[in-house]
Structure 1
């Protein structure tokens, strides 16, 4: 009896991503098939052998594999113990169809920086509510993939653009509770998403998603100290759910929202803002 694959698949609320799939495959062999989207694959354990356009390739742990849409491919494990993989399916808004021919003859990329960025993107995609972080990381991943396909060097660090950075901060300040996608910010500010993230990080020393989360946590602190229940605070401060709220609150302040709400100054002393 062939062991059933262990698969987790979902569609995140992130523009440009059609599907995310994490899988442990032991005995299953993928027949020749195609996708309508780009297949961005990293292998965490094992080796995948696959055929693409009548040529044989191997997806190894240190490589980034990018399979173009509409081109048949298959896949199987080289080792009897199987393999673990993480896949992001990208639509044509991230990589246009004009790049398909380049990808057919160049599906593997040995780029440790790109692989780490894809790993970070997967981490962001596993947490609902972190869509702006995923947006930001996706912009850099797509940019580097295009550079790889077109045989270009990594984009140079852009010149400082404080005005654009401050306009993005003003936009985030206006809607930090309801949130904004990177695509929406890009359209409003007439700038490429990756450029927006770069100039903001250059000017303020943190990414847009970190700034937005900090604003939400700051609002949540005041609501907690005013007596609002943590569950109600999560929604009022713009967090996806209680788990999302607690995770970011603890990351920034070191304690849970409930513990923070129960703290108080020693007798005769005022509370000091951290």
Structure 2
């Protein structure tokens, strides 16, 4: 890696994520500072050293780092060529304040599944068009982080399941066009969002966001066969725009919406 530092930061539409940061720093070193958010950090190239609450830590590409809010930390590259990182900044109430001490004691995790889920969420947030998928992926990430933290303090929250998968499917079917947030669905069926995603995936063999996308494609097919133009169909069936519809339509059916109804 070489050249100038490059940074891209934005605030996604995803509730609970106050900022996303993608950055390449050839030589930058952070002075000691704090955030008012939980910092979920992965390194894609290079490695990072940092002090957290006056204790030195290291972060390599196979790890995930979770830095708690309001605790001082700095950051610097280990190799001379710098590092590339991706960061999610989570609102402070997304993980319990009672878990800050556990995060200070152990801020890094070697957890390939957690890292992969974070990587997937970054991809969804970069696209910016899959709200329910982003909500589902964030919920599973937060659940995994919560499990790591509570394992350190010996406190595992209870879980329950009372046919919630079918209740969620009914909610999705009732809101194909407008959708429903995972948090709202969880409140309606009285279940934790992550548990709701897991229960639905076990019951129906796919996560809720994929089910909803399939229902929207089905709805789009009906409108297309009615003779409506693709741009209108995208809006009527709940897609962000025509390109969003086309991407999912082609992925599911192998052709674009226009070719689906083209004369043969």
1:32-43 residue pairs with structure 2 within 5 A? 32-43=32-43
TM-score, structure 1 normalization: 0.89
Query: How far 1:64 sits from its partner (Å)?
Result: 0.4
Count residues in correspondence: 260
TM-score, structure 2 normalization: 0.92
Instruction: Report the equivalent of 1:196.
Output: 196
Moved more, 86-95 or 240-249: 240-249
Give yes or no for the alignment of 1:257 onto 2:257. yes
Equivalent position SS for 1:262: coil
- Whether the 8 Å contact between 1:127 and 1:244 is mirrored in structure 2 is no
Unaligned stretches of 5+ in structure 1? 265-274
Query: How far 1:261 sits from its partner (Å)?
Result: 2.9
For residues 132-173 of structure 1, the C-alpha deviation after alignment (integer angstroms, 9 at most, x for no partner) is 1111111111111111112269x8xx7874x32111111111
Equivalent position SS for 2:178: coil
Give yes or no for the alignment of 1:12 onto 2:33. no
Distance 1:199 1:206 in 2: 10
Equivalent position SS for 2:12: coil
Query: How far 1:263 sits from its partner (Å)?
Result: 5.1
Instruction: Report the equivalent of 1:241.
Output: 241
Distance 1:243 1:5, change over 3 A: farther
For residues 40-91 of structure 1, the C-alpha deviation after alignment (integer angstroms, 9 at most, x for no partner) is 0011111011111111111110000001111111112112222111111111
For residues 201-251 of structure 1, the C-alpha deviation after alignment (integer angstroms, 9 at most, x for no partner) is 111111110111011111111212222221221111111122322221121
1:132-151 residue pairs with structure 2 within 5 A? 132-151=132-151
Query: How far 1:258 sits from its partner (Å)?
Result: 2.2
Query: How far 1:92 sits from its partner (Å)?
Result: 2.5
Distance 1:55 1:263, change over 3 A: farther
Distance 1:121 1:81 in 2: 27
Instruction: Report the equivalent of 2:179.
Output: 179
Distance 1:6 1:245 in 2: 32
Distance 2:64 2:76 in 1: 17
- Whether the 8 Å contact between 1:128 and 1:240 is mirrored in structure 2 is no
- Whether the 8 Å contact between 2:69 and 2:92 is mirrored in structure 1 is no
